[in-house]
Amino acid sequence: MEGIRTEPVTINLGPQHPSTHGVFRLRVTFDGEQIIDVEPVFGYLHRGTEKLAESRNYVQIVTLTDRMDYVASMSNNLAYVRTVEKLSGIEVPERAQYIRVISAELQRVASHLMATGFLLNDLGALATPLTYCFRERERILDLFEMLCGARITLSYMRPGGIFQDTTEEFWESLGSLIVDLPHYIDELEALISSNEIVLARTRGVGILSDEKAIDCSVSGPNLRASGVQWDLRIADPYEIYNRVKFEVPIGALGDTFDRYYVRIAEMRESVKIITQCIEQIEEGPIRTEVPFIIRPPVGEAYCSVEGPKGELGFYMVSDGGISPYRCKVRAPSFLNLTPLRDMLKGWKMGDLIIILGSIDIVLGEVDR
């Protein structure tokens, strides 16, 4: 018996916020319930961050980076200040490097908790799993508040080091969190990884092959979920990552489940890194003295870090002035959307929401 023939219908998904992880538009063509074509449409935020950076001095730009990926502000701070330091030839004290790495790994855990919680929200498990993830993230935000007085848009890092040193209260709270986190991660995984609904909705869904991921410049957990063992912290170590030992988790199939599971495994590795940093860090200066108004020599520099969502890099050109002549951001959320059309074709609307959620994007850095 032949299936029912239907006329293809094209609808807009977005640019409303709730189901698209930000202001993002998808033109989706359906044949019945099946997706036969997808056209992603970017650029509804109109922030113009890269252009704004060209009219601010090098220290003021730090506040712009927070708002690109507001779920991973520390990582954005780190990528940016490292580029300014490379452009200007600024050395960073060892203690500051350790605190930067601790902050970046705490941010990775916080970001992955949000990715996991919202993926479960997209699956229909409303509120409860997401609340569990928010509960642990709150403790990390408490630590950020101890560092700089802010919880979301942090602006903690500066060219040459960090804004201010840590307190005794910070180390006590950090030690307590590191003891508790592995148990919370185990609990979260136990609730999710063997859940029959999760398995039915994610196994084999939205497969991204290793070859396609590389061709599309995908990076971070989405790339590693496809079986590619690539991590800038090991491939091109920065700060003090060459002094700590950790594994790079990879997936086998590159499906939605693998993208979830790699993030769970990465949180465990972040705890290992932070533990080693706590053991190794020593007293010392936390910032190299630099002029209040930085004037890098004429030249260009690109520097990147392994952010929670992938390779986050800044390319900056200096003409010798107090502001960059050109600023370009290699934003992982933007590039990780490149294979989205191929990942969605053949699936249904409910699968679309889950596949998009598993990529873990923040539209603040997708906007151009």
334, 368 contact by CB (below 8 A): yes
Q: How far is CA 276 from the centre of its chain?
A: 22
Between vectors from CA 229 to CA 226 and to CA 231, what angle results, nearest 5°? 115
Q: List strand residue ranges (DSSP E) for 319-360, in order.
A: 326-330
Separation between Cα atoms, residue 218 and residue 310, nearest integer Å = 8
User: What's residue 1's pLDDT?
Assistant: 42
Could you tell me whether strands 326-330 and 34-41 are parallel, antiparallel, or unpaired per DSSP bridges?
A: unpaired
Q: What is the mean pLDDT of each run of 10 residues along the chain (368 residues)?
A: 74 70 84 92 81 95 94 96 97 98 98 95 86 94 96 95 96 97 95 93 96 97 97 97 97 97 98 98 96 95 97 97 96 95 94 94 86
Tell me which H or E stretch contains 173: helix 168-192
Residue 185: what pLDDT? 96
CA–CA dist 310, 76 (Å, integer): 11
- Residue 3: the pLDDT is 61
What is the enclosing helix (H) or strand (E) of 50? helix 49-53
pLDDT at 309: 97
Q: How far apart are CA 368 and CA 356, in angstroms?
A: 19
- Our CA angle for 10, 11, 14, nearest 5°, is 145
Structure tokens at 238: 């920065």
CATH number assigned to the domain with residue range 9-359, chosen from the 4 options 3.20.20.150, 1.10.645.10, 3.40.50.1000, 2.40.340.10: 1.10.645.10
Nearest one of 70, 85, 47 to 150, comparing CA atoms: 70
Which pLDDT does position 241 carry in this prediction?
98
Domain boundaries, the chain: 9-359
Query: 94-122 and 128-148 helices cross at what angle (nearest 10)?
Result: 160
pLDDT at 45: 75
